[in-house]
């Protein structure tokens, strides 16, 4: 049995050859969509830089948390990854060459990182520092030498030090020969403006602020080797702005969501990438002629950005959900039956993926390539 699914405003048809062999609900990852997203990123980078090499990517793995996706990115030339503490063990196990741990280094994280660095010496680790306490915690809880980036707050106001104070942190780090300055990290995750021109202008402002900080360092005789910037909505804008400004540093962009994409970012960046991770569910009950119930609840999809709004039932709309149930409003004329399969694209794919232990990988013709691909970095 081969089934096809179309979702509103999402290009292309999703094929599943043997859905009856998949226990639902289940997270599916469509291999051809992942490949296409990598190809689209390659083309976008080439349009900006003149080269389609992906070695300037430092993709954040918090979206997929997957060994398979990490290997796929490495096969495409990616050697530098960004992670929170939840994913670092997975990256070490798969042999990621270099990892930026983009999270303030609390003492327990420093100890954990030290053990990983000793047991996986072929991975080069970079820590994030923005406060004097971070310096102290690293030095007190590890005897190793560490490359570090100074985390700048360029507008998100979540982590990072004000750019004009960055030299103070560098001076703190200089007191120890176990800390080696690797560059500046500037995440502009606040750039979610619906208007593309506003996003472009805010990116330009943030990148100008970053480069002013880099110039302060150079003015003090300090080399800034690398700049790591950007989430999915801003990364390519940041890259373009930095290329135009010609910084004397290596540029690395760190988007994460793009590899799977989701409908929230698709609304911001229509058609830039394709949703690649979707949920397969089934109709398990019918309330009345206008409402059916799926065998799926919010224990399996994230609602932090709102309920999913793209579903393969024609005219279907999620109207109520609980831990294990989702009620969908349908048109009276819809010819649906109990047991019918339904495909749903998540609004926020990162937090949705974290709710699953593994995914089923689906090939280009709908075949099941892997029935149990682990999501190793989840729920840590």
Same-domain check for residues 197 and 109: yes
Q: Is residue 191 part of a domain?
A: yes
Q: What is the pTM of this model?
A: 0.97
Same-domain check for residues 245 and 284: no
pLDDT at 145 over 70: yes
Q: Is residue 94 part of a domain?
A: yes
Q: Are the C-beta atoms of 173 and 182 separated by less than 8 Å?
A: no
Euclidean distance between CA atoms 313 and 318, whole angstroms: 10
Instruction: Return the DSSP state at 273.
Output: S
Q: Is residue 379 part of a domain?
A: no
Instruction: Specify the pLDDT at position 333.
Output: 79
Q: Is residue 111 part of a domain?
A: yes
The number of folded domains in the chain is 2
Instruction: State the CATH number of the domain containing residue 353.
Output: 2.40.37.20
Same-domain check for residues 195 and 153: yes
Listed residues 220, 254, 288: the one ending a domain? 254
Listed residues 205, 223, 254: the one ending a domain? 254
Q: Is residue 8 part of a domain?
A: yes
Same-domain check for residues 198 and 301: no
- pLDDT tens per residue, range 240-260: 999 999 999 999 999 999 999
Same-domain check for residues 304 and 229: no
As a whole-number percent, the residues of the chain with pLDDT over 90 amount to: 95
Same-domain check for residues 228 and 352: no
Q: Is residue 225 part of a domain?
A: yes
Listed residues 254, 283, 303: the one ending a domain? 254
State the average pLDDT over residues 205-226.
97
For strand 226-229 and strand 250-253, is the pairing parallel, antiparallel, or unpaired?
A: parallel
Instruction: Specify the pLDDT at position 2.
Output: 80
| Token reading at 246 | 């010609």
- pLDDT tens per residue, range 302-344: 999 989 999 999 889 999 999 999 999 998 878 899 999 999 9
Lowest mean pLDDT: which of 30-34, 235-239, 294-298, 333-337?
A: 333-337
Instruction: Specify the pLDDT at position 162.
Output: 97
pLDDT at 380 over 70: no
Task: Provide the domain limits for residue 146.
Answer: 58-254
Instruction: Specify the pLDDT at position 48.
Output: 98
Same-domain check for residues 197 and 301: no
Residue recorded with tokens 């709908």: 366
Same-domain check for residues 163 and 23: no
Euclidean distance between CA atoms 118 and 372, whole angstroms: 30
Same-domain check for residues 313 and 368: yes
Q: Is residue 286 part of a domain?
A: yes
State the average pLDDT over residues 252-269.
97
Rounded to 5 degrees, what angle do the CA atoms 98, 104, 107 make? 100
The residue ranges of DSSP E strands in the chain, in sequence order, are 3-5, 14-16, 26-30, 80-83, 98-101, 124-129, 146-152, 179-186, 226-229, 250-253, 277-288, 291-294, 310-311, 317-321, 326-329, 341-345, 358-362, 368-374
- Smallest Cα–Cα separation from 100: which of 42, 40, 182? 182
Same-domain check for residues 212 and 343: no
Q: Is residue 268 part of a domain?
A: no
Mean pLDDT for the chain? 96
Instruction: State the CATH number of the domain containing residue 247.
Output: 3.20.20.10
Residue recorded with tokens 């997270």: 27
- pLDDT tens per residue, range 69-85: 999 999 999 999 999 99
Same-domain check for residues 224 and 172: yes
Q: Are the C-beta atoms of 292 and 327 separated by less than 8 Å?
A: yes
Percentages (nearest 5) of helix, strand, coil residues in the chain: 30, 25, 45
Same-domain check for residues 220 and 317: no
């Amino acid at each position: 049995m081969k089934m096809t699914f179309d979702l509103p405003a999402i290009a292309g048809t999703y094929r599943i050859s043997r859905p009856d062999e998949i226990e639902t609900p289940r997270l599916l990852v469509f291999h051809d969509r992942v490949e296409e997203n990598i190809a689209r990123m390659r083309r976008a980078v080439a349009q900006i830089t003149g080269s389609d090499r992906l070695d300037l990517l430092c993709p954040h793995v918090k979206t997929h948390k997957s060994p398979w996706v990490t290997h796929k990115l490495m096969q495409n030339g990616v050697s530098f990854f960004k992670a929170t503490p939840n994913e670092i063990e997975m990256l070490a196990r798969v042999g990621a060459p270099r990892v930026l741990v983009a999270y303030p280094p609390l003492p327990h994280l420093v100890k954990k990182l030290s053990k990983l660095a000793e047991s996986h010496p072929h991975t080069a680790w970079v820590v994030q520092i923005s406060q004097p306490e971070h310096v102290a915690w690293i030095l007190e809880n590890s005897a190793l030498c560490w490359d570090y980036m100074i985390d700048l707050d360029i507008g998100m106001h979540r982590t990072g030090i004000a750019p004009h104070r960055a030299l103070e942190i560098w001076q703190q780090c200089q007191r120890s020969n176990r800390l080696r300055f690797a560059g500046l990290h500037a995440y502009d995750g606040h750039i979610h403006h619906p208007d593309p021109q506003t996003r472009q202008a805010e990116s330009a402002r943030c990148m100008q602020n970053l480069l002013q900080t880099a110039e302060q360092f150079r003015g003090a005789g300090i080399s800034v080797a690398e700049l790591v910037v950007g989430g999915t909505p801003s990364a390519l804008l940041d890259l373009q702005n930095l290329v135009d400004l010609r910084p004397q540093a290596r540029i690395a962009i760190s988007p994460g969501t793009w590899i799977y994409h989701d409908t929230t970012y698709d609304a911001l960046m229509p058609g830039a990438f394709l949703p690649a991770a979707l949920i397969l569910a089934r109709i398990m009950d019918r309330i009345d002629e206008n409402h059916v119930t799926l065998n799926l609840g919010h224990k399996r999809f994230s609602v932090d950005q709102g309920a999913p709004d793209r579903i393969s039932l024609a005219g279907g709309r999620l109207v109520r959900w609980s831990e294990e149930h989702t009620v969908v409003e349908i048109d009276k004329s819809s010819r649906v039956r109990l047991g019918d399969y339904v495909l749903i694209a998540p609004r926020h794919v990162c937090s949705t993926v974290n709710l699953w232990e593994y995914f089923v990988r689906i090939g280009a013709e709908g075949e099941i390539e892997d029935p149990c691909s682990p999501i190793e970095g989840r729920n840590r």
